[in-house]
Chain A
Amino acid sequence: MAVSAVHLESDAFLVCMNHALSTEKEEVMGLCIGEVDTNRIVHIHSVIILRRSDKRKDRVEISPEQLSAASTEAEISFNFTHRLAEMTGRPVRVVGWYHSHPHITVWPSHVDVRTQAMYQMMDQGFVGLIFSCFIEDKNTKTGRVLYTCFQSVQAQKGSEYERIEIPIHVVPHEAIGKVCLESAVELPRILCQEEQDTYRRIHSLTHLDPITKIHNGSVFTKNLCSQMSAVSGPLLQWLEDRLEQNKQSIVELQKEKERLIQELASL
């Protein structure tokens, strides 16, 4: 087995959850950034939300070539922007992908397993994560969020790919990393860019009459409003709450620090 386990830092886990819970009508997707250690444990420090040019409800893969291009671009911009290599003293790279299964079982579909197998051809240690959400048992009113980690393996040459389970642990990380915060606030920007691209394509059609153009303009406005109220707004609220919580924690920690300094001085 190329990978023995996956350690997902809790702030990266937070961003994955944010992303997965952002929409229940489509599968969302992103890349996992981190490194693999000498014991073949994959450490994921943060994630990158991916733009999808083809938004289909039931499928979410991008081709290995696209993935490779996206990964390279992500790594270059990532390392450059965040100077992560400097901070950790080690190079970090794309080590896996994650996507969401809204209203669907957490297990990867045949397409997912095949897609994962393709990615593994480029990188044996590549792992796949799936987040299943918006599941509710109507009888017991129990909601569920699940997550799993897998790789693909071919039982025999020429046969279908199968999923193999990889242990995954969410590792505590008390403070939210800068990289994770920045990934989290990328979501509204990505959504807006996707909308703008779609609108531009429509807008370039010249044979539309004024009524249709006005209609399309309204659709754009409506969609952007949706994004702002469903994503940007709650995101901003959460950030403000977090800031407030941090400020309070800092005050309390300062008091504790002073108390400890005094205690140390008295020894």
Chain B
Amino acid sequence: MAASISGYTFSSVCYHSANSNSDHEGFLLGEVRQEETLSISDSQISSSEFLHIVEVHNHEPCAQLFSFYDYAGKVNEENLNRILKDRRKNVIGWYRFRRNTQQQMSFREQVIHKQLTNILGIPDLVFLLFSFISTANSSTHALEYVLFRPNRRYNQRISLSIPNLGNTSQQEYKVSSVPNTSKNYASVIKEHGAEFFDKDGVIKDIRAIFQVYSALQDKVQAVCAEVDQSERVKEKIQEEVKKLKEEISLRKRITAAEERRHQESLNTENHSLQDDSALSDSSSPPSLTRVLLQSPPLEVSLDWPPNSTALPLYPAAPAPPSAILLPRPQAVGSPGHPSPSLGLGNGDGSSSDSLNRQAIGQEDQLEEEEEEEEDEDEDSSEYENLVSERLQSPSLTDTAVSLGRPAALWPDGDTHSSGGSS
């Protein structure tokens, strides 16, 4: 079995993954076809082999985790259909991107995979796992990918190739003709070869193929312009949505603060009254109300500082349900963006400027929520993943050790410890 994915689709998955703080997942769309290869060997005159070829045409990224399954790993078919819409029939697999983890399917992934196989009715659904590791100083990063065929025995792995230009073979041009003094040869090829040339002595084919190329490039430019426009529109609306959310949380905060102040002023009045009289029951309800009003607003995760508009780093994602709980201490280790714990390489000990600090601050804040969400997601059977996340510092050092080996030892196919490949 062979599989292929276009370089552009692959890069696009990397791009979406780089943009997300947490794991990233999505669906693989394409087709599976069978190719018959005929071979002749000494024992048989002709034997044909059927080769299954999995071709990934594009991917459908999920905007967030848990969009089609819940914490127990149960797949919700309705949500699935909402995400896939009419592309459901093109699904051939799904993918997941994780950082600093092992190259194995997690328990939840296996559970989800089985359900997807049944719901989508694809017996040979594939699973593409991307895992991302970095050296301790973040100078070198590796993205490893494995395509699994989980419905087969032993969770078979398939080679994923990326078709590309290969050799543009400019060496194939001939700079000289084979010497030939035959007059017949010269006259025949001149007379009949003239078919291929137009009146300017240019090969007709050249013009023809160039026309095809030109038309194609024009179309590429045109669609590119449309994409550009759609990106700007999307950016603008994202910005507006973000501002609205900020506005809403600001209003709620102001209202809460006003209520608090109002209550406090009432309380002071009550207290002065109580001093005069012996009645004291009126104190309990106001303090209860005060406690209620003082609970943090629901959009705590979206309380971005007002001057953050200059940094459109993150999508205005809806707050994960776990954000209401107290935030965990800052998680160590980070996706591909700067984190003070990994060291920005300020060798001379200078501190980052305020802009950077702000960026880091926001990232850490989001990181807290995402890390927190992730750890709550992993149930006890995914202990390995949980452990690897908590022990990010030591594992990165291990990575540094293995990646720091002389070039000859890696990555030439030696299974190194940090990859954790089975």
B401 interface residue per 8 A CB criterion: no
* Known A199-B173, A231-B165, A238-B9; contact A137-B421, beta-carbon cutoff 8 A: yes
A224 touches which one: B8, B140, B210, B414 (CB < 8 A)?
A: B210
Per-residue 0/1 for A145-176: is the Cβ within 8 Å of any B Cβ (1 yes, 0 no)?
11111100000000000000111111111111
* Known A172-B313, A253-B237; contact A235-B11, beta-carbon cutoff 8 A: no
B300 interface residue per 8 A CB criterion: no
* Known A172-B313, A254-B237; contact A224-B338, beta-carbon cutoff 8 A: no
- CB proximity of A226 to chain B, nearest CB, Å: 6
A218 interface residue per 8 A CB criterion: yes
Cα of A134 to Cα of B143 in the assembled complex, Å: 12
Binds A, one of B32-40, B68-76, B245-253, B390-398: B245-253
B330 interface residue per 8 A CB criterion: no
- CB proximity of B191 to chain A, nearest CB, Å: 9
- CB proximity of B417 to chain A, nearest CB, Å: 13
Set of chain A residues within 8 Å of B118, measured between Cβ atoms: none
A260 x B248 contact (CB < 8 A): yes
Within 8 A of B (CB), among A168-225: 168-178, 181-182, 184-185, 188-189, 191-192, 194-195, 198-199, 202, 205, 207-225
Chain B facing A: main interface SS: mixed
A228 interface residue per 8 A CB criterion: yes
A7 interface residue per 8 A CB criterion: yes
A142 touches which one: B166, B410, B419 (CB < 8 A)?
A: B419
Cα of A105 to Cα of B160 in the assembled complex, Å: 19
A66 interface residue per 8 A CB criterion: no
Set of chain B residues within 8 Å of A218, measured between Cβ atoms: 205
Q: Which of A5, A171, A177, A210 has the most CB of B within 10 A?
A: A210
Cα of A172 to Cα of B422 in the assembled complex, Å: 31
Set of chain B residues within 8 Å of A41, measured between Cβ atoms: 344, 352, 356
Set of chain B residues within 8 Å of A212, measured between Cβ atoms: 174, 176-178
A189 x B217 contact (CB < 8 A): yes
Cα of A24 to Cα of B332 in the assembled complex, Å: 36
Within 8 A of A (CB), among B228-265: 228, 230-235, 237-238, 240-241, 244-245, 247-248, 251-252, 255
Cα of A184 to Cα of B7 in the assembled complex, Å: 12
Per-residue 0/1 for A28-54: is the Cβ within 8 Å of any B Cβ (1 yes, 0 no)?
000000000111010000000000000
Cα of A194 to Cα of B169 in the assembled complex, Å: 12
A134 x B162 contact (CB < 8 A): yes
Q: Which of A182, A240, A243, A254 has the most CB of B within 10 A?
A: A243
A209 x B167 contact (CB < 8 A): no
A78 interface residue per 8 A CB criterion: no
Per-residue 0/1 for B175-197: is the Cβ within 8 Å of any A Cβ (1 yes, 0 no)?
11110100000100110011011
Per-residue 0/1 for B276-311: is the Cβ within 8 Å of any A Cβ (1 yes, 0 no)?
000000000000000000000000000000000000
Binds A, one of B13-21, B46-54, B319-327, B371-379: B13-21
Set of chain B residues within 8 Å of A256, measured between Cβ atoms: 241
Within 8 A of A (CB), among B120-145: 135, 137-145
B contacts, CB < 8 Å to A: 6-12, 14-15, 18-21, 57-58, 60-61, 103, 135, 137-147, 157-160, 162-170, 172-178, 180, 186, 189-190, 193-194, 196-197, 203, 205-206, 209-210, 212-213, 216-217, 219-221, 223-224, 226-228, 230-235, 237-238, 240-241, 244-245, 247-248, 251-252, 255, 312-315, 336-338, 342-348, 350, 352-353, 355-356, 407-408, 410-415, 419, 421-422
Q: Which 10 A-B pairs have the closest CB atoms?
A: A21-B7, A217-B203, A165-B139, A210-B193, A238-B8, A17-B11, A246-B230, A140-B421, A141-B157, A260-B244
A contacts, CB < 8 Å to B: 1, 4-5, 7, 10-11, 13-14, 17-18, 21-26, 37-39, 41, 55, 105-107, 132-150, 165-178, 181-182, 184-185, 188-189, 191-192, 194-195, 198-199, 202, 205, 207-228, 230-243, 245-247, 249-250, 253-254, 256-257, 260-261, 263-264, 267
